[in-house]
Structure 1
Amino acid sequence: MSFPWLTVLWAIPLVGAAIIVVMPATARGFVKYAGIAVSLGVLAVAVVLAVHFDPAGAQYQFVEDHPWIPSFGTGYILGLDGIALALVVLTAVLVPVLLLAGWNDAADVSALSGRSTHIYVALTLAVEGMVLISLVALDVLLFYVFFEAMLIPMYFLIGGFGGSRGESSRAAVKFLLYNLFGGLVMLAAVVGLYVVTAGSDAFAAGTFDFRAIVSAVSSGELDVSPAILNALFLGFMFAFAIKAPLWPFHRWLPDAAVESTPATAVLMMAVVDKVGTFGMLRYCLQLFPEPSTLFRPFIITLAVIGIVYGAIVAIGQTDVMRLIAYTSISHFGFIILGIFVMTSQGQSGSTLYMVNHGISTAALFLLAGFLVSRRGSRLIAAYGGVQKVAPVLAGTFLVAGLATLSLPGLAPFISEFLVLIGTFTRYPVFAVVASTALVLSAIYILWLYQRMMTGPVKEGNGEVRDLLPREIAVVAPLIALLLVLGVYPKPALDIINPAVNHTLTTINQQDPAPRVAEGPVR
């Protein structure tokens, strides 16, 4: 298809954000509807891309290749593979849901002179546009520019629209400093990659063309010292590990999630942070296959520690929002584990996990946010007996919680199962240790539900209202997706699997041969 679909995909939210900012201050109600209309336009384009994407076709489709800064060897190069498509659809589905969930989040902020609604909606759309162009960029410098740029609107969403102004500002600064530091290290690696290509006989001049560099790496034409490649890999990996986040680079996440509005926290954990794991799968593995293999045991060790650590710390939380934030650290450990075991089951499960985690976390965090907004407290101990006064809220909370603990029949189970199977074929000990999170997640979710939703109605909970029609409209599609993908994940895996196989072929990795124990013939 010659139409520039990928440009339209990311341009719609960014242009929409610019238009919304300049709308009259009196058009607050219209701005909310306009933001949802723009995000639905993005979803429509994403659906077109998904319908016309051919899993058996070329690795990158809908490619656009135009000069950008020729003297620097960088171009405006876009392309879509199955892995990116899965995350594009996730982003396009979640943003209109989050705008609807955050319908009343843009409380007037005096510093914004009555334009807080405009700014809130525009910043959310700006984040969406920057995430989308990061997912479809096939030029390393183009990717880096928007990988860093998305931090700015996220910073203002966290700091400007969170709960306590002082605490949310501190959380926003912490978020920004962590990620900017990782980005600076990555910038040095990006520059180093350009220098390496400029000095290689494989290229007439330095280049940032991802496809050309990967081709030279896989063919052995890029003759570079292993020590240099290791350093470049670590530069990329460090930035992605902070963004994801991978233990022990996770310290910014709980504060940022708790001090944000629920919709902003979901935007951060379910959409923005996925760019980090996506970067590991695309850039770290394909640009640096040998360093990825060299550092694989170390990264897998950190991922497994993160899986267990996030689950254990979640059990001890007294703040419901902080508890859910720590569960995401555990889930990101599973995603990174699946990426670096370098098996087809592991990477397919990891990619599907990115999608399923986004849906399940969105459902659970938004429902917790609805409950907190009614009761005015994040403390778990303040609740009890909610299922008697708000049965729909409690029931949907239970489904979202069961999805978070990967109950069979709900979407995250398939992805977690694939990650564990893919890990077991290569690292059985790590798979066994990671499996302990299944028990730990059951403890923190079921205990959370018991304390908050069951038993007698505690004082102050008697007036808790059940879900409103707008809130049901937010939660219903998320619950439906958890059920559908839990029972029938084949359409998603049919798109993801060919892209994973391309990646494994590019980095010259194969699934381990099945090991059969030898014994006496009877």
Structure 2
Amino acid sequence: MSDFPWLTTLWLLPLAGAGAVLLVPAAGRRLAKWVALAVSLSTLAVAVGLAVGFEPDGERYQFVESHTWIPAFGTRYTLGLDGIGLALVLLTAVLLPLLLLAGWRDVAPDDPRGRPVHTYVALMLVVEAMVMVSFLALDILLFYVFFEAMLIPLYFLIGGSGAGGATRAGGSGAGGATGAGASGNRGSGPAAVKFLLYNLFGGLIMLAAVIGLYVVTAGADSPLATGTFDFRAIADAVSSGTLVIDAPVANALFLGFMFAFAVKAPLWPLHTWLPDAAVASTPATAVLMMAVVDKVGTFAMLRFCLQLFPDAAETFTPLIVVLAVISIVYGALLAIGQTDVMRLIAYTSISHFGFIVLGVFAMTSQGQTGSTLYMVNHGISTAALMLVAGFLVSRRGSRAIADYGGVQTVAPLMAGTFLVAGLATLSLPGLGPFVSEFLVLIGTFPRYPVAAVFATLALVLAALYILWMYQRMMNGPVRPGNECIRDLGRRELAVVAPLLALLLVLGVYPKPILDMIDPAVGHTLSTIDRQDPAPAVAERDGGEPR
């Protein structure tokens, strides 16, 4: 299996599928959707095959492919898969078919805003391809190219296939309130531009750091002989001490990488593009952005920031831990005050990304394992909650929480799935996010007990914003305008049921994915020469352990 270019197949398949979709005749809108769905399912099959063939206790990077790309720059087309990357590849491959199904009717054939069905589904596949490369790239320049290139299709998905006027404004439906986010009236264009500018600026800062790292590897004191972008070679040289980067230079390079990843994640105070982009997008696009694309930022922190600049990472860890805790609490507090259901869910993601970053920089095996698992569980739980909310909003024509009430009476299945997805979001025991959040907290406490305490308090806020939202929207008497809300249909159940099933399985039996992640986390900690803190053991009066 290792002789076949499976990793190239994994990302080329959706990219070629996007081209095939665009070749479908203009009248074949339904055919275009089915082609895209078939391609995404084929990509999922390849990802599952890689998972079956992956050996957690084998080589760190498996299915490695390396070919000449630009010799003059010391860069190669090098792909490889470790346990952390595999977990996120599986997340991406699982979500894409479900998002295509969820957005099956997002683009109407007679849409006056000119959003062709072919373009919409093709862009979704292009984003999938570029995200896959980001999780696989072992060449820093190759990673950077796709890290930036994915902004273009996502920009068009947000700006050209946004949620649209009536629904986005949260008040044009019968009985709709007008205060559910006046920003919706400005259209999806400004939100798309804001998304692009933030991320492009972060990418430009990173480009300077990438060039700076190349110069360092090409220096007279470098053991690498010539400049290189080979991640493994640089990380090994730094870890062994054969490549010593001056502290001021290492700090500057670390900050360049970290800034770009913090914008992508996003981490407070670089988060402000996310709520606007989430409410301006269709629910499927919003989930693609928050559950898949944004994970590239936190994944890259774990792979590139820590392993290329371990000493600089340790220098800035206290600051990043503080920013992560602020993100956790800030996102939860702002979620409580939202009147727009889609914006509320977007702010919950800011809080959850704070937990992920906290786990990464706790520098413990439990913290980083929990952080990786959190990326997976957040993607699934956010997808479930956002998509069910999107189904509800499409029926009612309003995002305003105040417009709802009594939905449980007229659409009990929708209310039930919304409740389970919400309980997963607040990390109820028995559902996937609880395990990951628990690991992050116990991994953080030995080194940063105050941060762990503040993060734990945010769990109370999560219960408040989720349960209050559910109570206002689903319980009570049926408000005028909600009497005709339809329950979930077969296509919608086909989207939601696998997500809820995954949340239950990962909440009860997360061992298979933890077995995949643990060795990769151990390799990372070994590379940066960090060990878990030794547990404190109380002593008896005679000096013996109790």
TM-score tier after normalising by the smaller chain length = over 0.9
Deviation at 1:191, TM superposition (A): 0.5
Deviation at 1:224, TM superposition (A): 2.2
**Pairs aligned (count):** 520
For 2:155 and 2:438, locate their aligned partners in 1 and report how far apart those are by CA, in whole Å.
35
Shift in alpha-carbon separation, 1:185–1:109, aligned structure 2, 3 A: farther
| Paired letter, 1:233 | F
For 1:110 and 1:324, locate their aligned partners in 2 and report how far apart those are by CA, in whole Å.
29
Contact 2:80 2:137 in 1 (8 A): yes
For 1:471 and 1:19, locate their aligned partners in 2 and report how far apart those are by CA, in whole Å.
26
Residue 287 (str. 1) matches residue 316 (str. 2):
no
Deviation at 1:221, TM superposition (A): 1.0
Q: What whole-Å deviation, never above 9, does each CA across 1:230-262 have from its counterpart, x for those lacking one? A: 100000000000000001100000000011000
| Paired letter, 2:261 | F
Which structure 2 residues correspond to residues 309-458 of structure 1 after superposition, within 5 A?
309-458=330-479
Deviation at 1:518, TM superposition (A): 4.7
Deviation at 1:110, TM superposition (A): 5.1
Q: Find the residue that maps to 2:127 and give its secondary structure.
A: helix
For 1:520 and 1:361, locate their aligned partners in 2 and report how far apart those are by CA, in whole Å.
52
The equivalent position to 2:187 in structure 1, one of 157, 163, 167, is 167
Deviation at 1:380, TM superposition (A): 0.4
- Name the % identity: 73
For 1:307 and 1:498, locate their aligned partners in 2 and report how far apart those are by CA, in whole Å.
28
| Paired letter, 1:126 | V
Shift in alpha-carbon separation, 1:518–1:432, aligned structure 2, 3 A: farther
| Paired letter, 1:100 | L
| Paired letter, 1:438 | L
Residue in structure 2 matched with residue 251 of structure 1 by the alignment: 272
For 1:167 and 1:406, locate their aligned partners in 2 and report how far apart those are by CA, in whole Å.
34
The equivalent position to 2:206 in structure 1, one of 186, 196, 200, is 186
Deviation at 1:109, TM superposition (A): 5.0
Residue 31 (str. 1) matches residue 51 (str. 2):
no
Residue in structure 1 matched with residue 122 of structure 2 by the alignment: 122
Q: Find the residue that maps to 1:291 and give its secondary structure.
A: helix
| Paired letter, 1:22 | L
| Paired letter, 1:440 | L
The equivalent position to 1:211 in structure 2, one of 232, 235, 256, is 232
The equivalent position to 1:177 in structure 2, one of 191, 197, 207, is 197
Q: What whole-Å deviation, never above 9, does each CA across 1:202-234 have from its counterpart, x for those lacking one? A: 112100000000011001111221100110000
For 1:393 and 1:195, locate their aligned partners in 2 and report how far apart those are by CA, in whole Å.
56
| Paired letter, 1:416 | E
For 2:35 and 2:527, locate their aligned partners in 1 and report how far apart those are by CA, in whole Å.
43
Residue in structure 1 matched with residue 517 of structure 2 by the alignment: 496
For 2:475 and 2:291, locate their aligned partners in 1 and report how far apart those are by CA, in whole Å.
29
For 2:102 and 2:417, locate their aligned partners in 1 and report how far apart those are by CA, in whole Å.
15
In the alignment, structure 2 segments of 5+ residues that lack a partner are 166-185
TM-score, scaled to structure 1: 0.98
Deviation at 1:517, TM superposition (A): 4.1
Deviation at 1:142, TM superposition (A): 0.2
Q: Find the residue that maps to 1:448 and give its secondary structure.
A: helix
Residue in structure 1 matched with residue 217 of structure 2 by the alignment: 197
Residue in structure 1 matched with residue 59 of structure 2 by the alignment: 58
Deviation at 1:23, TM superposition (A): 1.7
Which structure 2 residues correspond to residues 30-179 of structure 1 after superposition, within 5 A?
30-107=31-108, 108-109=110-111, 112=114, 116-164=116-164, 166-179=186-199
| Paired letter, 1:82 | G
For 1:520 and 1:154, locate their aligned partners in 2 and report how far apart those are by CA, in whole Å.
64
Q: Find the residue that maps to 1:58 and give its secondary structure.
A: coil
For 1:491 and 1:269, locate their aligned partners in 2 and report how far apart those are by CA, in whole Å.
25
Deviation at 1:18, TM superposition (A): 1.2
Q: Find the residue that maps to 1:248 and give its secondary structure.
A: coil
Residue in structure 2 matched with residue 302 of structure 1 by the alignment: 323
Q: Find the residue that maps to 1:66 and give its secondary structure.
A: strand
Q: What whole-Å deviation, never above 9, does each CA across 1:5-46 have from its counterpart, x for those lacking one? A: 000000000011012112210110000011000000100000
For 1:484 and 1:507, locate their aligned partners in 2 and report how far apart those are by CA, in whole Å.
33
In the alignment, structure 1 segments of 5+ residues that lack a partner are none
For 1:105 and 1:519, locate their aligned partners in 2 and report how far apart those are by CA, in whole Å.
67
For 1:109 and 1:341, locate their aligned partners in 2 and report how far apart those are by CA, in whole Å.
49
Contact 2:62 2:81 in 1 (8 A): yes
Q: Find the residue that maps to 1:77 and give its secondary structure.
A: strand
For 2:321 and 2:187, locate their aligned partners in 1 and report how far apart those are by CA, in whole Å.
34
